Amino acid sequence: MPVVERNLVITNKVGLHARPARLLVQTAALFQSQILLQYGAQTVNAKSIVGVLRLGARCGSTIHLRAEGEDAEEAVRSIEELVQRNFDEGEEADRSQGESTTGISSEAPA
Catalytic residue set = 17
DSSP per residue over 59-89, as a string? TT-EEEEEEESTTHHHHHHHHHHHHHTGGGH
Which residues lie below 8 Å from residue 1, measured CB to CB, with a gap of 6+?
Answer: 68, 69, 70, 72
Which residues lie below 8 Å from residue 64, measured CB to CB, with a gap of 6+?
Answer: 5, 6, 7, 8, 37, 38, 39
Report the 10 Å Cβ neighbour count for 104. Answer: 8
